[in-house]
Amino acid sequence: MKTADIRRTYLEFFENRGHTLVPSAPLVYNDPTLLFVNAGMVPFKPYFVGDEVAPFNRAVSSQKCVRTLDIEEVGKTTRHGTFFQMLGNFSFGDYFKQGAIEYAWELVTTPQAEGGFGFDPEKIWTTVLTDDDEAFEMWRACGVPAEHIQRRGLKDNYWNMGVPGPGGPCSEIYIDRGPEFGPEGGPEADEDRFLEIWNLVFQTQDLSAVRSKTDFDVAGDLPKKNIDTGAGLERIALLLQGKNNMYEIDEVWPVIARAAELAGKTYGADHEDDVRLRVVGDHIRSSLMLMSDGVAPGNEARGYVLRRLLRRAIRAMRLLGVHDEVLPELLPISRNLMSESWPEVVSNWKRISEVGYAEEAAFRRTLTSGTQIFDVAVKKAKEAGEDSLSGAAAFQLHDTYGFPIDLTLEMAEEQGLQVDRKAFGTLMQEQRERAKADARAKKGGLVNTEAYRELRAAGETPFTGYSELAGQTKVRGMLLDGRPVTTAKAGDVLELVLDETPFYAESGGQDADRGIISGSGLHAEVLDVQRPVAGLVVHTVRVGEGELALRQRVDAYVDSDYRFGARQAHSATHLVHAALRELVGPTAVQAGSYNKPGYLRFDFNANQALSKDLQQAVEGRTMEAINDDLEVSTSMMSLTDAKAAGAMAMFGEKYPERVRVIEMGGPWSLELCGGTHVSHTSQVGLVSMSGESSIGSGVRRVEFLVGPQAFDHFAAERQLVLGLAEALKTQPDQLADRVARMSEQLKAAEKELAAYRTKELLGNVGALVDKAAQIGATTLVAESAPGVAAADLRTLAMEIRARLGERAGVVALVGGSDKPAVVVATTAAARDLGLSAGDLIRVACTELGGKGGGKPDLAQGGGTDATRVPEALAAVREAVTKVDAGR
């Protein structure tokens, strides 16, 4: 059976038995505890933990998943893959243990012609929790021999989420692959021969604390018994397709076959080559699926995972001998393989290919430059008799050349070296501490949600702020330092839950409201508003006067000016998004946003910067929409109808069945959005683009000032223009021409000055040769020439080399200004002694924090740190000395 057919068989089997088919959630999911969806039950977690009521009693899904904890094991075993598809059937207080076991047995053993998988019942083994006699007898009733049912402990056959919440015993289904794969004895003896394909979890208990797989506290029984199962699609496929491992199934193998063809390799002939080919097959597919769900390569979090996968695949191909671009060859193959089950890889192909190919091009440049620095660092380490690379060298490769630390580790291991991970980690931490933390990241840290869940159990917090900015309500709960309290006094900063609230909680990119909460003798300032769990609004407040008490009646007042500014910025964000899609193209899909009074930033997918003309056009198109006074309308509709109407949705956001749709100018701007907005676009006032930048491979960011802040910006620029015009004694409309003429005059003067400086230096060639150092048989001229441009530096170096004549001579000059320029030249006699300009330039540039290259007779480069010119020249002297000593 094809993998897509196995998937279809599973879904149809359970649909025909009353299960609601739930589409896969995107890999990027709105769960702060996860980078990616890593299990089939993740989208159902709110129903299992009680945050939300399940809209169905039973469900079935095929969920996209990514796990990268064991990325180094990919290709080495049959069981480690980064992307996989988890089939699952779920029951929420409906059928329980017997139903789950009977359904599983029926599907697994029914012949394929009759809608099942057709496994031989005699090759099926199952496991149950040690004391789960009930499950044991249920498997016996299905026909599984007692000797094929093994009892195992909590470590293997009890499931929990790793945090407080539901848990329960589980039962697993294994298939015996035959004696060629391992010894007899069932799963207890060997889990390569006996391969697990399905885990049935019987959720029965509410866990109050979880310390490990085998150490947890049980608060009591769940009010409803639930079923959560997970069947590995790739594992079922390898068994039904008669393959040895998951890399050889139909959705992966053609990529491996093409990779082997490109490399001129035969799969199965060499273990190391096979591992590399399997890495390519796995990582190409995983990267495709991540990019199809909107992930772009970057240096943090999800973007880093994707970058790592792509770069590991590209480098594996290089180790196989392929140095040309490989993604244009391999990504389309994976797209065609996955499109039957996941059509979005075709509909999103333009963006996927642009992002992927741009990342490969960037990495090829990184490999070219960074590998030179790596080689120099390795050479230094080995010459010094060290068995490891310094943390500083690894950090420089990461920070300056974009080498992921895992790539440095792999390359170092190939050279027989370790890496000082502790020193590298210290430098990374220092860098993080220097970096300005993003406001959302500060709020997004992982917290224990148990206290929030208890408050949520009393019901969700109704939001009244769409229609009113003030209202009377009651205090439902208070948390001080994460602990429930009944009172709070002046000076306390605490978290407050109200029965209902007009305060908007930060979401959808819109900043939280500000305001006050008052009562009899009470005055408290609202500092922040968040939704730590679905349906619960939590206010961070500072009590200024009086006291707060549980169940106290209070008045809530939203700062109306702050809210209006937020509405302006949020509506402007929608207009900017629409303008970008119109002018840049439909691939300019939102990748994140943040807006607050007076300011918005908008991240979108793009592989190149917006030109100045395009920036102006986007700003102008946004202003045009504002001036058109478009009506901003809000409507509620089903999620299906909203998507059919073309409403834009954010990757990773979870939407209910009924959604709020914001329309501006008809279909031109139609988005799913829960935020607050102006009623007409003219209320936005003004916008002014204040920045355009890259925040990662394939993702750009535009920033705008909005409303009064935009006006202030324009006014400040006007004053600046007027001041410059007055200083230069010209009219404002002639200022650009005046500055251009002055710039030309300055450049001419600088050119003339440089010519005089070069002439002066050339006149001092004899003096420079006379003061040369003699290192053994080699004459070394190593000098600093501040202010001399690279071209003139090259001329000077060649002139000095000519003066050295037949001598073994090396010339090393460092010029430039803020960014040093370096030139190294060698005579023929020096080259005969083993001195190469190309080697020496890398030594100098490394000290300067830069790079360089060239031929043995002449090389040039540059750096970033002008303060280290003496160290660079000293490094050249040391390198020449070592060569002389080694002769």
**E strand or H helix that includes residue 820:** strand 820-826
What is d(CA 476, CA 499) in angstroms, rounded to the nearest whole number? 6
Reference 797, options 809, 807, 812; nearest CA is 812
One-character DSSP codes across 569-624: HHHHHHHHHHHHHHHT-TT--EEEEEEETTEEEEEEE-SSPPPHHHHHHHHHHHHH
Amino acid 496: pLDDT: 96
Q: What is the separation of C-alpha 106 from the centre of its chain, rounded to a whole number of angstroms?
A: 41
- How many CA atoms are closer than 13 Å to the CA of 448, on its beta-carbon side? 13
Instruction: Report yes or no: 807 and 774 within 8 Å, Cβ to Cβ.
Output: no
Give the other-Cβ count within 10 Å of 500's Cβ.
Answer: 18
Instruction: Report yes or no: 762 and 796 within 8 Å, Cβ to Cβ.
Output: yes
| Residue 660, strand partner residues | 636
At 455 the three-state DSSP class reads helix
- Asked whether residue 677 is marked as a ligand-binding residue, the answer is yes
pTM of the model: 0.64
Q: For 834, phi and psi rounded to 5 degrees?
A: 100, 10
- Asked whether residue 577 is marked as a ligand-binding residue, the answer is no
- Asked whether residue 845 is marked as a ligand-binding residue, the answer is no
**E strand or H helix that includes residue 714:** helix 708-727
Evaluated on CA atoms 235, 236, 238, 239, the torsion sign reads positive
| Residue 26, strand partner residues | none
User: Nearest 5 degrees, angle CA 767-CA 770-CA 773?
Assistant: 125
- Asked whether residue 80 is marked as a ligand-binding residue, the answer is no
pLDDT block averages, 10 residues each, the chain of length 887? 96 96 88 81 86 89 89 77 95 96 97 96 97 96 96 94 86 96 94 94 91 89 92 96 93 97 94 94 96 84 87 91 94 97 93 90 79 80 84 76 71 83 78 47 45 82 95 94 91 95 93 95 95 90 94 95 96 96 88 93 89 95 96 92 84 75 92 94 95 82 94 90 90 90 88 75 81 92 86 88 92 88 94 92 92 91 91 93 84
Reference 801, options 835, 776, 755; nearest CA is 835
| Residue 88, strand partner residues | 61
Amino acid 372: pLDDT: 72
Fold of the CATH domain 3-243: BirA Bifunctional Protein; domain 2 (3.30.930)
Fold of the CATH domain 450-558: Elongation Factor Tu (Ef-tu); domain 3 (2.40.30)
Amino acid 64: pLDDT: 95
Reference 686, options 705, 701, 665; nearest CA is 705
What is d(CA 61, CA 37) in angstroms, rounded to the nearest whole number? 13
Give the other-Cβ count within 10 Å of 184's Cβ.
Answer: 10
Residue located via tokens 């230069």:
728
Amino acid 441: pLDDT: 38
At 562 the three-state DSSP class reads helix
Q: For 265, phi and psi rounded to 5 degrees?
A: -110, 160
Residue 602 per-residue DSSP state: E
Residue located via tokens 């999620």:
639
- C-alpha distances (whole Å) from 508 to each of 80, 504, 505 are 36, 11, 10
- CATH number at 563-715: 3.30.980.10
Amino acid 444: pLDDT: 38
Reference 604, options 580, 622, 624; nearest CA is 580
Amino acid 400: pLDDT: 64
Residue type, 693: S
Residue located via tokens 């053994």:
776
Which CATH entry fits the domain spanning 764-886: 3.40.50.1100, 3.40.50.1220, 3.30.70.260, 3.10.310.40? 3.10.310.40
What is d(CA 193, CA 179) in angstroms, rounded to the nearest whole number? 7
What is d(CA 838, CA 580) in angstroms, rounded to the nearest whole number? 46
Domain boundaries, the chain: 3-243, 251-370, 404-435, 450-558, 563-715, 764-886
Contacts for 851 with CB less than 8 Å, ≥ 6 apart: 369, 372, 373, 842, 845, 861, 862
| Residue 510, strand partner residues | 507, 595
Q: For 26, phi and psi rounded to 5 degrees?
A: -60, 155
At 406 the three-state DSSP class reads helix
Give the other-Cβ count within 10 Å of 485's Cβ.
Answer: 16
User: Nearest 5 degrees, angle CA 80-CA 84-CA 88?
Assistant: 120
Would residue 729 be called left, alpha or beta, if left means φ above 0 and alpha means ψ between -120 and 50 degrees? left
Amino acid 78: pLDDT: 64
